[in-house]
């Protein structure tokens, strides 16, 4: 019996020692993996933005060739009012009034969706969309917008409810889809979200909710995996908003700063890192974003440092050109809305 107890004690001590050794190895591996995780995620982000910047979807979302002032609509329409298949007809520029000139589209088939076929030049060079003098030659209707959901409900005092879900095709090939939601009331705030799904399973989402507490976000994803995201929440202080919490996610790494937190916290796979750290650097005194005047200085467990702008500089440059037009819903408001209202005014 005594021999049995001695053996049991030795076995117990061996198991404890093995557990401590495994814990130490895991701890060492974790401390080393923070840097490798950031490097791996940075490579994925740079690859994603390199692919996205070469797509026609990126070209759509970053259009700058707009010469017409923003239109102000005060009508309410929904998809049922404009559903059908429409083809662009040249030499039919029509001016209902000075503020709402448009090209006519010929209805060629019935559909529960809004399907509009037109030359890509009207979309990728929208100055021709608003100009009664088209170029000498206009190609065939090789660009298609297919809206499966659309409504623009407008009421007194600029209260509105907006929704758009549309896919885009160039010469019959899918180049992505756009999902936009926008609603607001003058006295209670507003909210919007805009997501473009590119080819190769990449997507970019931006959103904003305005109220007593405002939240601004953007995310770069591949499928359901978040490659890069940023979330900022603001509260009103006096007559301006002050940042309450900031969260930046890079793959498995999260960087968090809040009003109740003494310092910036760094997490790896949800585990707070004890020796690694981060410092948020803003240009000027205002709140910033990594897309505008903000940088992150990371300090790894081995004491080495790296700036986010150095790790994903090329990707950030591309992302900056994309997030602002998406936040402004530029393509939806200037192109899709103009075309939808063109059909509406033509039919009604």
Question: What pLDDT does 295 receive?
Answer: 92
Its sign, for the CA torsion 124, 125, 127, 130, is: negative
Name the maximum alpha-carbon separation found in the chain: 104
**Does any domain span residue 183?**
yes
Task: Tell whether 11 is covered by a domain.
Answer: no
Looking at the domain assignment, is residue 30 inside a domain? Answer: no
pLDDT at res. 224: 94
199: in domain: yes
- Looking at residue 282, its pLDDT comes to 83
Q: 103 and 342 in contact (C-beta within 8 Å)?
A: yes
For the chain, residues with pLDDT lower than 50 are 1-32, 69, 98
Note whether residue 31 is domain-resident: no
Whether 189 is covered by a domain: the verdict is yes
Give all strands (DSSP E) within 2-113, no chain letters: 77-78, 84-95, 101-109
Q: Crossing angle of helices 2-53/313-327, nearest 10°?
A: 70
pLDDT for the residue 153: 87
Measure Cα distances from 283 to 115, 148, 262, 279, 288 in Å. 46, 43, 21, 13, 8
205 neighbors 224 (Cβ within 8 angstroms): no
* pLDDT the model gives residue 130: 76
Q: Which domain holds residue 292?
A: 56-347
The Cα–Cα gap between 260 and 273 comes to 18
The answer to whether residue 18 sits within a structural domain is: no
User: DSSP string covering 179-220, please?
Assistant: EEEEEEETTTEEEEEEEEE-GGGEEEEEEEEESSEEEEEEEE
Number of domains making up the chain:
1
């Amino acid at each position: 019996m005594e021999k049995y107890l001695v053996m049991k004690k030795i076995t117990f001590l061996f198991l404890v020692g093995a557990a401590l050794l495994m814990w130490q190895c895991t701890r060492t591996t974790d401390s080393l993996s923070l840097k490798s995780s950031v490097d791996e995620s940075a490579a994925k982000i740079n690859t994603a933005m390199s692919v996205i910047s070469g797509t026609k979807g990126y070209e759509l979302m970053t259009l700058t060739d707009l010469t017409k002032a923003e239109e102000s609509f005060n009508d309410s329409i929904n998809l049922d009012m404009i559903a059908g298949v429409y083809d662009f007809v040249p030499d039919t520029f029509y001016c209902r009034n000075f503020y709402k000139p448009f090209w006519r589209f010929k209805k060629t088939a019935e559909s529960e969706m809004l399907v509009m076929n037109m030359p890509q030049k009207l979309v990728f060079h929208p100055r021709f969309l608003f100009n009664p003098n088209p170029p000498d030659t206009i190609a065939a209707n090789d660009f298609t917008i297919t809206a499966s959901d659309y409504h623009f409900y407008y009421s007194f005092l600029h209260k509105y409810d907006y929704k758009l879900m549309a896919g885009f095709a160039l010469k019959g090939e899918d180049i992505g889809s756009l999902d936009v939601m926008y609603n607001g009331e003058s006295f209670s705030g507003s909210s919007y979200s805009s997501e473009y799904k590119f080819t190769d399973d990449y997507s970019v989402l931006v959103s904003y909710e305005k109220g007593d507490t405002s939240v601004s976000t953007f995310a770069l994803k591949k499928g359901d995996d978040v490659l890069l995201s940023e979330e900022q929440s603001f509260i009103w202080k006096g007559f301006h908003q002050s940042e309450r919490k900031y969260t930046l996610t890079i793959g498995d790494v999260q960087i968090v700063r809040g009003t109740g937190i003494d310092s910036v916290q760094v997490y790896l796979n949800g585990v707070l890192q004890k020796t690694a750290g981060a410092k948020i650097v803003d240009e000027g005194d205002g709140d910033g974003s990594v897309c505008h005047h903000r940088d992150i200085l990371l300090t790894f467990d081995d004491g080495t440092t790296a700036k986010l702008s150095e790790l994903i500089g090329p990707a950030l440059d591309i992302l900056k050109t994309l997030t602002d037009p998406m936040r402004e819903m530029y393509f939806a408001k200037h192109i899709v809305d103009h075309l939808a209202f063109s059909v509406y005014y033509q039919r009604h």
